[in-house]
Every structure is written in C-alpha cells, then in structure tokens.
C-alpha cells in the first residue's frame, strides 16, 4: 500500500475531511501527491479512496521522514490540521527533515498573526511559508475550492500552476485563486470571508423565520420560494442549499428533518475573530456582530425555554399578528429585504479588509477578492460579480453602498426592507441581522447624526473637548458651571 518512489510533486499532511478531499482533488488534476497523517489509519483510508475514485496518484506514508523524502525538491507540503498548537507541532515534525528552499503551506483557518510568526521562524531556517485560506467545505475541497494564499510570493510561485488547476473554475472569470498579499493576509481574508458567511446565514435564517412564523409558509412552500429566489439576484450556494434543506424528509420519523434540528448554532471562532478585528480597527460591522450575537443567544436553549414560560404566563406569549397576510406580497418583500441587508453585510466585510490592508500595507485588491469568491467558496453568489464590477469602476470606492448600481438597488428595495423589519418587530419576531443592516444604512446615509450630543456629554463629564461645525479648532466648555447658572 505504501509507495517507495520519490515521484510526488507535492505533499499533504493532515487527512481529516478537508485534507483527504484536497489531496484527491490535487491527484485528480494529474499531480502525484504524497500524504501523511499522525493517525496512520487515515493514510490507508485516503489511499484506498484514491484507488476507488480512479486509481489516482496518491502515495501514503506512515512516518514523517519517508513522507518528506518522497517529494521532489524544492519540496512543497500543505498542512490541513487544526489551528493553533497542532500546526506548530506538525511544523516541528516536518521541518526536521526539510531542507533550505522547501516550503510549508498552512491550509487551515489560522489566526493571521500566528502565520506571520511562523513565516518569520521558517525564514530563519531557510524555509518558505504560506498561510492559505481554503473555502468550500468538503465538496469544494474535492472538486474545486476558493483558495486565498498569502505570505511568501516565492512560495506561491512554486505552487501556482497546481493551485490554478485545483481551484474552482468560473467560466467568465477564471480560477478562484490569486496571490492575496504579504504576511497573514490570506488567513485574514479567509477570516473575513467567514464573518460575511455568518451574516449571510443569519439573514437567510431571518427570512425563513418571517416567512414561516408570520407568513405561515409550509416547508414545501419554502422550498419552492427559495428555489425561485435562486434563479434571480439571490442566486448563491447558500440559497441553493437552503432550498434543498426544506425538501428533506425525516428518515427517523414523520415530517421534515429541518423541524427536528435543535435550534443551537455552533461555531469555530472565525466569526468571533472578525468581530474582534472590527472593534480593533474601529470599523462598524453591525450585521456580522448581530449574527454572532444570534449564535450566542441560540446557545441558551434551556434559558430560552424558561423565558418563554415566564412571558407566556404574563400574557406576553406569541404576539404574532392574526391579520391575514398577503403571502405573495410578503415573499416579494422578504426577497428584497434579504438582498438589501446582504449588500450591507458585504460592505462591512470589504471595509474591514481594506482597513487591515491599509494598516499592514498589504495593498489588497478588493475586486480581485470578489472574483475568487465567485466559485468554490461558501459565500459564492452571482452577486459577487456586481461587487467586482463596482471595484473595477472605482478601486477607491468608500463603501459598496455608494456605488451607483448598489445605491439604486437599495433605493428600489428600501420600502420593502422597512416593511419586513416593522412587520417582524410588531409580530415579536427578532430580525437582528436585517435590523442591524437597516440601521447601518440609515446611519451611513445621514448627513447629521445625534453624535453631537454624545460629544457634548463627553466634554461635560470628562473635558474631552469637541470640534464645531462653524469654525476650526478644538473647544472645551464649562457645561456644569453654565448649567448651574441657568438653574438659579
């Protein structure tokens, strides 16, 4: 079962679901690959799968030394292991057998600063290092993911021809991979991609909640609605799989499976990192933050069950409107609200990437990021083509909201968006994502905000000073003394 030849062009260490599938994808594209995993049964399993899926050139190794020796020089090894300490351990294991000029690529969801630390440490050993975001889940990894490599440009050049073939292929815009930039930029961009994904999923869940709870749509009707939406402006992977979910019957009982799934959302941490970065960079990302909060609240299932009893017993149970709802109108309104709210979520993500790029000097190209997200990744959507075009029109676009095309689309949909949010509020249905997106839009489009009062308060209690709208300079007023005089 094990190979003794050194004919592999590349190596891959870490054979959980993503690692196995990416290894098979690489082999499928005609690149012989060596694979290694600490738990050797995974190695055997991967080689067996390679045989079953068309005698693919996958060679398994049970020890790190023979694994490294089997790869052509300069060696390139992709790691797909759990972020944090396991990555450092794998690097330590492999680097013992690597030589100057060899390259390690971390394909996991790693914190970008860890990648920058490792790149420096590897450089001291004469090794090259890349941090590469891989999006698309197991299906994407096997048949074509979106790849976000950042770090050593020299290392990227080693592997560019492989990545161009392995990545998802989009007919009108090419392979979904590009050299992102220096340092940890690849990991950072993948992290923000995941934050946008959190927002997307939350907004879709809210659309479902309003249609089901207020519109009383059945799962069959929901499947039909989402399938229809997937033919228009909302065409995307997440809308497509949502339509699929509503059609799956429960194999362990009656009814549909979606109704039996516990309403507690898990998370791996990239959404939380995104929100922390938003705070660090002083960039507003309320839709992404609302989606994270929604996941936190979903985790309080037992508390929510008790709270529901408390409010029911005080006559504040379900306050859903009993009025008959025009289903057709509601479906159209929710579609428009979902699209408008989604624009805000992506705008926030892009602004985060730009702010970090400026801080770190990465010179990231936002339009190019939209292009490589068009295929393979979880947030792939026809809508990304419009984002790419917006940045092509104006690379220095301050915010997606003010791109002429997106501005017009929001204006056309804002009445429906407001109706959906009002209907949800009046029905006691929480729509934190849609509401946060609407508040973001309404705040961003206003020339004057009540921040003048907040700044006056800050100067009153803390002498923080303020600026004026009618003259230059910084001012401080003895508010307390003046107020005291007016009181007497």
Provide the annotated active-site residues.
Answer: 190, 197
CA–CA gap between residue 170 and residue 85 (Å, rounded): 36
By C-alpha distance, which of 371, 433, 440, 452 is closest to 402? 440
CA–CA gap between residue 355 and residue 371 (Å, rounded): 19
Return the exposure string of 426-452: e unless at least 16 CB atoms fall within 10 Å of the residue's CB, then b: ebebebbbbbbbbbbbeeeeeeeeeee
- Write down the residue that tokens 């790029």 correspond to: 357
Rounded to 10 deg, the angle between the 286-298 and 185-209 helix axes is 70
Are 177 and 144 spatial neighbours (Cβ–Cβ below 8 Å)?
Answer: no
Half-sphere exposure of 126 (CA within 13 A, CB side): 9
Which stretch of DSSP H or E encloses residue 158?
Answer: helix 153-166
Return the exposure string of 329-339: e unless at least 16 CB atoms fall within 10 Å of the residue's CB, then b: ebbebbbbbbb
Measured in whole angstroms, how far is the alpha carbon of residue 139 from the centre of its chain?
Answer: 17
Structure tokens at 52: 């079953």
CA–CA gap between residue 297 and residue 289 (Å, rounded): 12
> How many other C-beta atoms lie within 10 A of the C-beta of residue 363?
10
CA–CA gap between residue 102 and residue 94 (Å, rounded): 11
Return the exposure string of 133-158: e unless at least 16 CB atoms fall within 10 Å of the residue's CB, then b: bbbbbeebbbbbbbbbbbbbeebbeb
Supply the DSSP string of 421-441, one letter for each residue: HHHHHHTT---HHHHHHHHHH
Which stretch of DSSP H or E encloses residue 161?
Answer: helix 153-166
Beta bridge partners of 175: 169
């Amino acid at each position: 079962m094990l190979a003794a030849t050194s004919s592999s062009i590349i190596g891959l260490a870490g054979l959980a679901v993503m690692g196995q599938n990416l290894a098979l994808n690489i082999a499928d594209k005609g690149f012989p690959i060596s694979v290694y995993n600490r738990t050797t049964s995974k190695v055997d399993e991967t080689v067996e799968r390679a045989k079953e899926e068309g005698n693919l050139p996958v060679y398994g190794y049970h020890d790190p030394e023979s694994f490294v020796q089997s790869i052509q020089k300069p060696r390139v090894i992709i790691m797909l292991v759990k972020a944090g300490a396991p990555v450092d351990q794998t690097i330590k294991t492999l680097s013992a057998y690597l030589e100057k000029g060899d390259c390690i690529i971390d394909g996991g969801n790693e914190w970008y600063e860890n990648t920058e630390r490792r790149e420096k440490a590897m450089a001291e050993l004469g090794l090259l290092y890349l941090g590469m975001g891989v999006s698309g889940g197991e299906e994407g990894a096997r048949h074509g993911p979106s790849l976000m490599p950042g770090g050593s440009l020299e290392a990227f050049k080693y592997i560019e021809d492989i990545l161009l073939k392995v990545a998802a292929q989009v007919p009108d815009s090419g392979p979904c991979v590009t050299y992102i930039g220096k340092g940890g930029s690849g990991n950072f961009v993948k992290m923000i991609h995941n934050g946008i994904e959190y927002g997307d999923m939350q907004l879709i869940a809210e659309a479902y909640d309003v249609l089901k709870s207020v519109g009383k749509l059945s799962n069959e009707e929901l499947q039909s609605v989402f399938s229809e939406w997937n033919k228009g402006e909302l065409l995307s992977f997440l809308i497509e799989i949502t339509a699929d979910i509503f059609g799956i019957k429960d194999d362990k009982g009656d009814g549909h499976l979606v109704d039996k799934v516990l309403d507690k959302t898990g998370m791996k941490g990239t959404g939380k990192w995104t929100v922390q970065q938003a705070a660090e960079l002083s960039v507003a990302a309320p839709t992404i933050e609302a989606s994270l909060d929604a996941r936190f609240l979903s985790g309080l299932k037992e508390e929510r069950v008790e709270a529901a009893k408390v409010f029911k017993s005080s006559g504040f149970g379900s306050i859903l409107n009993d009025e008959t709802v025009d289903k057709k109108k509601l479906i159209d309104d929710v579609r428009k609200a979902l699209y408008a709210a989604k624009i805000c979520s992506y705008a926030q993500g892009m602004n985060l990437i730009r702010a970090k790029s400026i801080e770190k000097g990465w010179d990231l190209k936002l339009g190019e990021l939209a292009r490589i997200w068009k295929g393979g990744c979880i947030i792939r959507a026809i809508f990304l083509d419009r984002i790419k075009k917006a940045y092509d029109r104006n690379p220095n676009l301050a915010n997606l909201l003010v791109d002429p095309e997106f501005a017009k689309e929001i204006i056309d949909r804002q009445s429906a968006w407001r109706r959906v949010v009002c209907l949800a509020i009046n029905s006691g249905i929480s729509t934190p994502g849609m509401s946060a997106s609407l508040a973001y839009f309404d705040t961003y489009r206003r020339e004057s905000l009540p921040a003048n009062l907040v700044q006056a308060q800050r100067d009153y209690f803390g002498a923080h000073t303020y600026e004026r709208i009618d003259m230059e300079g910084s001012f401080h007023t003895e508010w307390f003394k003046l107020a005291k005089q007016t009181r007497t």
